[in-house]
Amino acid sequence: MRNGAHRDEAEQRQVQYLTSTTVHTRLGQVLEEHGHRLVRAELVDLQHRPGAGATGIFRVRATPVESGGSPEPQELFLALTAEAVPEDGVIVAGQDADATWSAWFHPHDPLLTGLALASDPDSVVSLWGGGGALVDLQTISYRPLRRAVLRAVVSGDTGQRTLFLKVMRPGLATRLHHRHTLLAAAGVPVPAVLGPPVADVLALEQGQGAVLATAIMADGARHIQPADVLGVLDRMPQELVELPRREAWSDRIVDYGHAAATALPGQAQRIRSLVEHLRRQLDTTDRGPVVPTHGDFYEANLLVSRNRISGVLDIDGAGPGHRVDDLACFLGHLAVLPAVDHRYVYVDQALRRFHSSFVAGVDPAALACRSSAVALSLVAGARDSGRRDWQASARQRLDIAESLLALPQSAAGW
């Protein structure tokens, strides 16, 4: 317990350091070592992985130290992390806030060695362009040291097509390719892969349809049958049970509670109480049998066309697990949507419809506490939303996590 508390305090200091102006001195030193002088720095992304450390991505404006005249500042992206990373892939950036810091210039992430390749227009065209011309290349998501997704639009003789490039840690792209092959053969509508991975980058065709979140915002997805959503899980192939198992969100509730308390230190006691309550509930409720699961089953990873589920995305975590955790992932994310965007005004109706169907096949108490755990895991993510009022969003997510504990024990309870 003492070691855990020490770790929590250390990571709290890391987060405070990355969000302070003090870090600019460290950024300036890194830039000077590489021939640039810092003009301005802005923190654009902060990732806190409990137990590993904190990482900040900074947009910096810098001028070359040795240049004639008054050059225009260049825009660079510089990452600073307290996580342990291979020294040969980073810039040693010294110590501050009781942490040893390493740095790199984007896109040269030390654990995502394929990111530079996927970020280079010429490489994208030659490897995945199919003889077409690159129209657009954008980063859709980037979790430093974890994964990245880029979207490429390519124009050819038959028009434009959209590709997604998933950049992963060494070896993981090959496993993801295998999962896509398994699920496609079982009739799960996953995007088509464009061949085997290249440098741990897996290229995928765009899936058909719009994300389920769009329908939820429009009218609570009232035309989408919960049975159709459940049918996706029913088609998950049995071979997934033989794959390595990934922890569900509820399995890491202590870590997510720590991350939430780091984001909202004023709510730390409240969060600790919720975590302790959830731990008791998780220990005493029935999780059900081990079955093939998606692993990250929620509205952003499901596509809809003509009121039917037409695509299943982000199957990285597909493998052995428990149906209740997939269903809790769906309900926890669904419940939090109003804290993400105020236009989600039909969530209560959608939550009632989907929960009423889901609760029939699993332990209701397990579904409630695991849905709450998922919502709690999303509290710290409010800080990365880019909103100025992210603290209010984080507190609202915490409110929702607590409220999910009271989910009815049956469809009739609504």
Q: Are residues 285 and 376 in the same domain?
A: yes
Q: Are residues 189 and 154 in the same domain?
A: yes
For residue 97, give every residue at least 6 positions away whose Cβ sits within 8 Å of its Cβ, in sequence order, or none. 13, 14, 16, 17
Q: State both tokens at 330.
A: 């769906």
Does residue 6 surpass a pLDDT of 60?
yes
Q: State both tokens at 69.
A: 């005249």
Which amino acid is located at 410 in the chain? S
Q: Are residues 215 and 197 in the same domain?
A: no
Q: How far apart are CA 386 and CA 388, in angstroms?
A: 7
**Region 7-28 average pLDDT:** 93
* Alpha-helical regions (H) of 129-209: 172-185
Q: Are residues 216 and 180 in the same domain?
A: no
Q: Are residues 266 and 384 in the same domain?
A: yes
Per the structure, the count of domains in the chain is: 3
- DSSP letter, residue 190: P
Q: What is the DSSP string of 208-260?
A: SSEEHHHHHHHHSSTTS-HHHHHHHHHTS-GGGGGSPP---GGGGHHHHHHHH
| CATH label of the domain that carries residue 268 | 3.90.1200.10
Query: Tens digit of pLDDT for each residue in 325-365?
Result: 999 999 999 999 999 999 999 999 999 999 999 999 999 99
Give the residue carrying structure tokens 């992210």.
390
Query: Tens digit of pLDDT for each residue in 277-336?
Result: 999 999 999 999 999 999 999 999 999 999 999 999 999 999 999 999 999 999 999 999
Q: Are residues 315 and 345 in the same domain?
A: yes
Q: Are residues 354 and 240 in the same domain?
A: yes
Q: State both tokens at 3.
A: 């070691």
Q: How far apart are CA 403 and CA 414, in angstroms?
A: 14
- Would 257 be classed as within a structural domain? yes
Q: Are residues 182 and 225 in the same domain?
A: no
Does this model's pTM top 0.85? My answer is yes
- Would 110 be classed as within a structural domain? no
Residue where a domain terminates, one of 151, 173, 205: 205
Q: What does the buried/exposed string (b/e) look like for 239-270 if buried means 16 or more CB atoms within 10 Å of the residue's CB?
A: bbeebeeeebbbbbbbbbbbbbbbbbeebbee
Residue where a domain terminates, one of 205, 240, 261: 205
- Would 140 be classed as within a structural domain? yes
| CATH label of the domain that carries residue 154 | 3.30.200
- Would 403 be classed as within a structural domain? yes
Residue where a domain terminates, one of 72, 105, 138: 105
- Would 315 be classed as within a structural domain? yes
Q: What are phi and psi of 187, to 5 degrees?
A: 85, 10
Q: Are residues 70 and 24 in the same domain?
A: yes
Q: State both tokens at 117.
A: 């390749």
Q: Are residues 145 and 286 in the same domain?
A: no
- Would 232 be classed as within a structural domain? yes
pLDDT of res. 56 = 96
- Would 189 be classed as within a structural domain? yes
Q: Are residues 298 and 407 in the same domain?
A: yes
Contact 179, 242 (CB under 8 A): no
Confidence of residue 85 (pLDDT cuts 50, 70, 90): very high
Q: Are residues 133 and 69 in the same domain?
A: no
Does residue 1 surpass a pLDDT of 50?
no
Give the residue carrying structure tokens 């398994």.
182
Contact 341, 218 (CB under 8 A): no
Query: Tens digit of pLDDT for each residue in 42-82?
Result: 999 999 998 899 999 999 999 988 765 567 889 999 999 99
pLDDT of res. 91 = 94
Which amino acid is located at 302 in the chain? L
Range of the domain at 171: 115-205
Does residue 22 surpass a pLDDT of 70?
yes
pLDDT of res. 254 = 96
- Would 377 be classed as within a structural domain? yes
Contact 46, 384 (CB under 8 A): yes
